[in-house]
Amino acid sequence: MKYILSTLLGLLILLTSCENADSQVKIIASGSLKNVMKNGDITPHLDSDSLNISDNLYGLGPAENMEGEILIIAGDIYRSVITNDNQIRVEKTDHIKAPFFVHGFFKTFEKVQIPDSSKLSLRSIESHLNEVAKKRNLEAFCFKINATVISSKIHILNFKYKEDKKVTKKSIHQSSKNLEIINNDIEIIGFYSRKHHGIFTHHDSNIHMHLITKDKAMMGHVDDIRIDPTFQTELLISTE
């Protein structure tokens, strides 16, 4: 009897710990960056039909076949593409697929202190988020930045998939359209993680950010940025 009771108690503790572990997982990754870049696998690993679309949903990643960028803000899905006449089109859509993606459901965001710097850059933002994560004992979270950028360099993937065309890191990068945004009001959605290198962040970075202008005219992956933090800049991180 004692053996049975101790076994049942052990199972209960194990189940409880599993439930607690699952409840703490807020960042959901589908597919991986390294699988695309190393293996040329651009098959969809996420279909928005599988998501519970709600105003708590945030996410980002490349669009299907590495042709365009995706950003989900409070359940609204945006896709940016390069048109045949080499123009940018940002469209709101109900359905997307992606070869890799990161998303999560977040009810609240908390404002955190802006780094003490005359100008915010990609490097200083990541460094500051490293400190925030360390102080709060966080491994992964979603964050928002609302600001007016001095300048920002973004890219939009524009890979034209053909069955007889080899998918390589080089061919994907060469197909991207690089853009610069100057003195514009923007919103950034980003994901921070210390454990997803090669999954949705590069091997030497803990962040992946997509930017959209307030007028929804431009959206893409952030490669570099300059922000004056003294001018109505907000940095928020997900809390639940």
Domain chopping of the chain, boundaries: 27-103, 108-238
- Enter the pTM of the model: 0.87
Please tell me the distance from the alpha carbon of residue 219 to that of residue 160, in angstroms, as a whole number.
Answer: 19
Please tell me the distance from the alpha carbon of residue 84 to that of residue 93, in angstroms, as a whole number.
Answer: 19
Query: Class assignment of domain 108-238?
Result: alpha beta
Per-residue pLDDT of the chain (240 residues; tens, 9 = 90+): 444 444 443 433 333 333 333 334 489 999 999 999 999 999 999 999 999 999 999 999 999 999 999 999 999 999 999 999 999 999 999 999 999 999 999 999 999 998 777 689 999 999 999 999 999 999 999 999 999 999 999 999 999 887 667 899 999 999 999 999 999 999 999 999 999 999 999 999 999 999 999 999 999 999 999 998 878 899 999 987
Please tell me the distance from the alpha carbon of residue 126 to that of residue 222, in angstroms, as a whole number.
Answer: 12
Long-range contacts of 220-223 (CB under 8 A, 24+ apart): 220/69, 220/80, 220/154, 220/155, 220/156, 220/179, 221/62, 221/69, 221/154, 221/155, 221/156, 221/157, 222/122, 222/152, 222/153, 222/154, 222/188, 222/190, 223/122, 223/153, 223/154, 223/155, 223/178
**Residue keyed to tokens 């202008």:** 213
Residue 88's Cα: distance from chain center in Å?
20
CB-based burial label for 148 (10 Å; 0-12, 13-18, 19+):
middle
Query: What pLDDT, on a 0 to 100 scale, did the predictor assign at position 75?
Result: 97
Nearest to 90 by CA among 195, 186, 200, 234: 186
Nearest to 45 by CA among 6, 97, 91: 97
CB-based burial label for 123 (10 Å; 0-12, 13-18, 19+):
exposed
Nearest to 214 by CA among 157, 118, 145, 119: 145
> CA–CA distance from 182 to each of 147, 215, 218, 228, 232 (Å)?
12, 14, 12, 12, 16
Please tell me the distance from the alpha carbon of residue 92 to that of residue 104, in angstroms, as a whole number.
Answer: 19
Fold of 27-103: 60s Ribosomal Protein L30; Chain: A; (3.30.1330)
Q: What type of residue is 165? A: K
